[in-house]
Structure 1
């Protein structure tokens, strides 16, 4: 089954200030390895244009467009004839694009919600990239949150088929490296108001207490004037190809969860999988469903406040630290690689196609096939 897949997403060319790019790249590379033809359509936004770290992928295609009107003019035939068209969250003019795609495409249409906790928390108040009325029009809703969330999307919003598609680690890139530990604890992530208190509690406060140890925070968009302890290094941005070496230089790395993700639960960050794939033990804040992704105390360490972090950093024997890293690495290889996600998507596509055929047999009313304008 070699599929022609079109993805319309926020950005795949730039990892600056967003986690979408690495998620898309891992999934698309895996799909391409499995013989599928993938084209990614991205709005040519200046803030991503200035920070591009992928321009010419070898095994799949990227096309940039300037405006909403470009899509039907340049890519109408591509979208109409694709086996699967996927629209991602936070796409500019996402509602208008979704209306066009779900009317125009002949193949299976899917919404890939890389921001499911944010979407569900704010959907009733209005979003620029998705409306509640659009959800039933997609054949498939791919949720970044697992557990009971897909069933909720089906029951509350009328999705014909909602399934979990977590992020993953591309193990061709994210794998253990041998390096000297420069930092006792590090963190990689874009600034977020609702995540900053977790960072303060679980990294900044321990750094102040352990003044002789070195810490690091890497990521874009932190406010100017933020005061960091003298033993906390700052890195403005790291391209994905530098992530493995960065993880290798940390004794432990921190996972800090946004408020909407924590409230909904079952919403692992891409950094969890990438750090574990690199063999770096993870300290995470607590949230519902984490135990379905990694086993606490065996594959991941949990902390609610600075005291627990300090106990881990001061007291954990080296053999236990290494054991946790090794067990997490094995779990990624078993359950959370990009190849796992590509296989899952293939299965969901087949499921959606069978559902479409059953529905067409029961209700044979024709579906409009062509709309020239958005």
Structure 2
């Protein structure tokens, strides 16, 4: 089946946390026989910072950040049996949704894929006239990056025909154990861009422990932190290309996951870094959020911190032997249950059921 997928970027992870998610899922779907074209706008300097070239398993169309170019690529939706508009494309999202769904054939399966459901739903709750809210009745399905029952129930209440979470996962061919590199030596590493609803939590779970554990080394990667006050034991290295994610994850004694505020309060929203770190065999320390046991077992496959004090206590007691054991057990669990092959099987099943139901109703 031909799939037209309109998203932020497949080729660049620069200010684009969904890149790993898109790559893993679409690659696995292509292996199941889907003919996929991914449409992404040339915005935010992402094309100048590509970390992969167009892959063989998916056609990629990059269009100018203009309304005329947007309308031209939106018209291509009429050539596909499955039409997907993702959230957070980054250029005229509301117009793109309208144009893509107008161009889609009546018999095509029309899907909205929300890669930031808590934030999207917060907007819908405060804006009854939001274009997405008005469009839900014309869509066949909403898929989400995560969120669990709270997100599913809210989307259905807003008029979605159905909503299914498709969680992040691991692509074992891109994230795996490698040899450590002294460039990334640290006791605790954190990789994440500076975002308004994450910054205070990074202060609490990462920068504050660093300020008190002055004998330990901390490694900070991600865009936007260059003017953030931090102690001398924090090594800030800026944006980290995906080609260095494995070595970033395996070199420090432990890797920290800090959820954005909306994701943490909603729960059931594991970030890509959780699976990247586990896939590399890293010892992961994560902030506490509802649903983590669905993915990793606390105390054995992941260490859970409720606040910065917990982070300090975990780091102080953590031995290299324990860190290695947790990393090994985490990788085994993720490989067994949470790869993108698992997620693609789920998506394929959902698409086929929805397509059959759509055919029967026409």
TM-score greater than 0.5 by the shorter chain:
yes
Looking at structure 2, the residues matched to 226 and 20 of structure 1 have their Cα atoms a distance apart, in angstroms, of 24
Q: Hey, what's the Cα distance between the residues in 2 that align with 1:285 and 1:219?
A: 18
Equivalent residue, structure 2, for 1:365: none
What's 1:169 paired with? 170
Question: Using the alignment, how far apart are the partners of 1:350 and 1:194 within structure 2?
Answer: 37
Instruction: Find the counterpart in structure 2 of residue 70 from structure 1.
Output: 69
Distance 2:319 2:43 in 1: 48
CA distance in 2, matches of 1:213, 1:180: 18
1:137-148 aligned within 5 A: 137-148=138-149
Distance 1:12 1:130, change over 3 A: farther
Structure 2 match to 1:60: 58
CA distance, structure 2, for counterparts of residue 202 and residue 263 of structure 1: 16
Q: CA separation in 1, counterparts of 2:148 and 2:361?
A: 27
**Partner SS for 1:64:** strand
Q: Show the counterpart of 1:257.
A: 259
Q: Aligned residue for 1:95?
A: 94
In the alignment, does 2:23 pair up with 1:25?
A: yes
Over 3 Å counting, the alpha-carbon distance change for 1:196 and 1:258 in structure 2 is: same
On the 8 A contact 1:15/1:240 being kept in 2, the answer is yes
Distance 1:45 1:154 in 2: 29
Q: Distance in 2 between matches of 1:268 and 1:65?
A: 31
Q: Deviations over 1:76-105 (max 9, x none)?
A: 3x4213121111101222222222332332
In 1, Cα distance between the equivalents of 2:213 and 2:129? 44
Checking the alignment, whether the CA contact within 8 Å between 2:152 and 2:165 is kept in structure 1 is no
Q: Runs of 4+ in structure 1 displaced over 4 angstroms?
A: 126-130
Corresponding residue for residue 198 of structure 2: 195
Task: Give the secondary structure class of the aligned counterpart of 2:193.
Answer: coil
Q: Is the 8 A contact 1:93 1:128 kept in 2?
A: no
Q: Which runs of 5+ in 2 are unaligned?
A: none
User: Which of the pair has the greater relative contact order for Cα pairs under 8 Å at 6+ separation?
Assistant: 1
Q: 1:254 Cα shift? A: 0.6
**Is 2:218 the partner of 1:215?**
yes
Instruction: Kindly provide the CA deviation profile for residues 296-338 of structure 1, in whole angstroms up to 9, marking residues without a partner as x.
Output: 1121111122332222212134433222212211121122212
CA distance in 2, matches of 1:312, 1:128: 47
Q: Distance in 2 between matches of 1:257 and 1:341?
A: 21
Distance across 2 between alignment mates of 1:245 and 1:130 = 42
Cα distance in 1 for partners of 2:44, 2:267 equals 34
- Once residues 130 and 87 of structure 2 are traced to their aligned partners in structure 1, the CA distance between those partners, rounded to angstroms, is 6
Shift of 1:119: 0.6
- The 1-side partners of 2:129 and 2:51 are apart by 27
Match of 1:123 in 2: 124
Report what 2:103 is aligned to: 104
Which is further off, 347-356 or 266-275?
347-356
Would the aligned equivalents of 2:39 and 2:73 in 1 still touch at CA under 8 Å?
Answer: no
Distance 1:173 1:130, change over 3 A: farther
Instruction: Identify the range of structure 1 (272-281 vs 282-291) with the bigger mean alpha-carbon deviation.
Output: 282-291
Shift of the 127–344 alpha-carbon distance from structure 1 to 2, 3 Å rule, reads farther
C-alpha distance in structure 1 between counterparts of 2:73 and 2:114, whole Å: 25
Cα distance change, pair 257–73 in 1 and its aligned pair in 2 (3 A): closer
**Deviation per residue, 1:154-182 (Å, 9 max, x gap):** 53111112111112221101001132671
TM-score by length of 1: 0.89
Distance between the aligned counterparts of 1:24 and 1:203, measured in 2?
28
> Any residues of structure 2 matched to 1:1-374 within 5 Å, and which?
3-66=1-64, 67-73=66-72, 76=75, 78-91=76-89, 92-106=91-105, 107-126=108-127, 131-179=132-180, 182-222=185-225, 224-360=226-362
CA RMSD in angstroms, aligned pairs only: 2.1
